[in-house]
Structure formats: structure tokens, C-alpha cells
Amino acid sequence: MRRTNTLILGGGPAGAAAAITLARHGAAPLLIERARETGDALCGGFLSWRSIDRLETLGVSRDALGGHAIERVRIFAGTKRGEVPLPGRAVGVSRRKLDTLLLARAVAQGACVERGVAARRAERGRAILADSAVIACETLFLATGKHDCRGLARPHGHGDPMLGLRIRLPASPALTKMLGAAIELHLFRGGYAGLLLQEDGSGNLCMAVGKARLAEAGGDPRRLLAELGDESRALSERLALGDIAGSIDAIGAVPYGWRVRTSEAGLFRLGDQAAVIPSLAGEGMGIALASGVMAARYHLAGGRGAAKAFQAALAQRTRIPMMSAGALGALAATRRGRLAAPRLLAAFPTLGAAIAQLTRIAL
């Protein structure tokens, strides 16, 4: 059996942010990431102005991050459309790029990163890997994100589970002209789609959709996209620029709204394993980064015993962003709310900026 003081499971933004912060202060964590190569995780790729600032403090500069500048939000619902400026300059960036930069930074700071091996099961004080090796630890940072780890899985919610779907739109002058410096939100019955340009000029169209809506389309994502295109001309024009017959990435049962409020000594839950904000807010990565840094700081100051205080403090810090994003999601779930959203934005431009701020986690 191997032993380590601090073990981080998962090398997404949360795990990497914790690893950088711990390593920077000499704590030399061990991080286990199941993917051998950094993939392009299913994510809308919207990084807010605050997350960009946080990345700077972690040693990932704006220049290194690059990305496509996002300055406005454009909302579509049926035939309605509204557009307002964002309160800060965001970027659209692929997860391949972001995760690569963060993990390289963690290694440069002295973290030990082991790739290509998954934790099969975790519990406070140890993890069992897929090859049956056991790693015992004083403190476990659980950062497996969208994927639950047996032994410490999040409870499954009730009601219609939300799924994540993604299609890519290849870079083209038509796409660049259509999207410009905006993130688009297309609201529809049973879900929404976010669309923005990334660093290479390609479009990332990421949807959160209820399982029931997908079931109406016979469980076929392509049929669902065709139906959504029939309902919205704007979405149909955008989908026409992609390869709908090509691959569609999917992720099941995203527990939006879930938030942990307490923990026990030696177990720090980070990122999506601590709080899952509705993705139309575009703040999941912000929470992941903030929680990673915060958990590391609590641990550096108070050791394994600080887990409970950390989890309570994180729950408090995510309360307003989660409530605000939840309220937006609830509004978008009703026909009246969806149709009112573009009009409200157009009539009260400062409302958009205020909501965009409310859904951010404080630095």
C-alpha cells in the first residue's frame, strides 16, 4: 500500500487548482487523473472575467490562456432575441487548452501528477485504483467532477434528469460573423443551448436538456437537434454550420443545484463534487477553481481537521450564485419565462450585467 499526505482525485480545474496551491506552499500533493491524455471535456467553455483573474493568480496568464474574447450575451427564445454587454471581458476556451495549462502548472509547482489510472473507489483515508492498488492518505481532495466515484457518490436527485450534449461547429467566416464576441443562449422547451467561439475559431454548442425531451425525440440526439431547428430559425441557421451527422458528445444525469454543506475530517469535496451550478450561468469552472484554491488554503492552515469548516464556507460562498442560477433556470423552464427573457434584457440592459455578476463566485 502506498501512502501520501494529500491525495487529489481528478485533474480538472478543481483538482488542478488545489494541486497548484498546495504544491506552491510545499505540500507536494499526489494527483490521480484517469485520462492518460488531456481530452476536451464536455463543457460550454465560457470563462468569466473573475475566473480569468483567478487563473492569473494560479500562474496561468491571459496570454497563455488566449481564447476568443466574449463581451456580450445574446439570448434567443422562439422568434425573440435580446442582447446586452457583459460586465467584464470573458473568453471562450476549450477544456483541452485550459486543463493542459493547469496540469502543466501543477507539475511545474512540484505536484506529482499520475495519469491514466482511475480511482475505482474512494473513502475517507484511502482510494482504491482500477488496478487494485491502494493509496492511503491523511487527506483526500475529491475532484472527480461530473463523474462520481464509488464510495463517495453524490445522491441522485428526483425529477427529470438533465443531460449534457455537445456538437462542434467547424471554424468558418460565416460562423465568426454570426457569433462575433457574443455568447449565445438558445432557450427551448426542456433545456437550453450555449454557443460561443473558442481559441481556434470553432464553435462549441453545448446543451443541457431534460431526459424527457430527448425521449420525445426517440432518445436520438440528432432527431432532437432537427426538432429544435424546426422550432427556432436562429438555432437552425447555426446547426446548419455544423456536422450534425458527426459525433455528438453526451453526459448523463447532471445533478444541477446539488450542493454539499458539510464534511468530515480528512475529506474535502471540490468543484462539481461540492456544488453543481446550472450551466446556463457559465460558472461551473469558476466554482471549481475557487473551491480548489480555497480547499488548499484551509488545509494548509488547519490540516485535515479543517475540512468541515471549508465545506461550510464554500457552501456559503456558492449560495448566492447557485440561487441566482437556479432562479434563471426555473424562469427558462417555463414558456412565459423563456419568451420574456429576451424582452426583459432588451428593456433593462443593466439587468443582464447584474445577473451575470450575481451568478459569479466571489474571488
Ligand X SMILES: Cc1cc2nc3c(=O)[nH]c(=O)nc-3n(C[C@H](O)[C@H](O)[C@H](O)COP(=O)(O)OP(=O)(O)OC[C@H]3O[C@@H](n4cnc5c(N)ncnc54)[C@H](O)[C@@H]3O)c2cc1C
User: Binding residue for ligand X (CB under 6 A) from 144, 198, 311, 324?
Assistant: 144
Decide: is 82 part of the binding site for ligand X (CB under 6 A). Answer: no
Decide: is 32 part of the binding site for ligand X (CB under 6 A). Answer: yes
| Residue indicated by cell numbers 465568426 | 176
Number of residues engaging ligand X in binding (CB under 6 A): 39
Alpha helices in 153-265 (DSSP H): 173-179, 211-216, 221-231, 233-239
CB closer to ligand X out of 201 and 258:
258
Minimum separation from the CB atom of position 77 to ligand X (A): 18
Whether 208 contacts 253, CB under 8 Å: no
CB closer to ligand X out of 305 and 307:
307
CB closer to ligand X out of 250 and 340:
250
CB closer to ligand X out of 210 and 343:
210
User: Binding residue for ligand X (CB under 6 A) from 29, 67, 82, 145?
Assistant: 145
- Taking CA 90 as the corner, what is the angle to CA 12 and CA 41, rounded to the nearest 5 degrees? 25
User: Binding residue for ligand X (CB under 6 A) from 143, 182, 235, 267?
Assistant: 143
CB closer to ligand X out of 292 and 342:
292
Site string for ligand X, 249-288 (x = CB under 6 A): --x--x----------------xx------x--xxxxx-x
Grid coordinates representing 91 are 473568453
Whether 170 contacts 242, CB under 8 Å: yes
Q: Is the dihedral of CA 94, 259, 358, 313 positive or negative?
A: negative
Whether 29 contacts 139, CB under 8 Å: no
Minimum separation from the CB atom of position 185 to ligand X (A): 10
CB closer to ligand X out of 251 and 312:
251
What is the spatial distance between Cα 322 and Cα 358, in angstroms, rounded to a whole number? 9
Minimum separation from the CB atom of position 33 to ligand X (A): 5
Contacts for 141 with CB less than 8 Å, ≥ 6 apart: 6, 7, 8, 9, 15, 18, 29, 268, 270, 292, 295, 299
Decide: is 149 part of the binding site for ligand X (CB under 6 A). Answer: yes
Decide: is 33 part of the binding site for ligand X (CB under 6 A). Answer: yes
Contacts for 56 with CB less than 8 Å, ≥ 6 apart: 62
CB closer to ligand X out of 140 and 206:
206
Whether 177 contacts 216, CB under 8 Å: no
Decide: is 13 part of the binding site for ligand X (CB under 6 A). Answer: yes
For the chain, give the number of residues.
363
Minimum separation from the CB atom of position 334 to ligand X (A): 20
CB closer to ligand X out of 252 and 305:
252
Helix axis angle for 284-302 and 13-24, nearest 10°, is 30
Q: Which parts of this chain interact with ligand X (CB under 6 A)?
A: 9-15, 32-35, 41, 43-46, 118-119, 143-147, 149, 164, 194, 206, 208, 251, 254, 271-272, 279, 282-286, 288
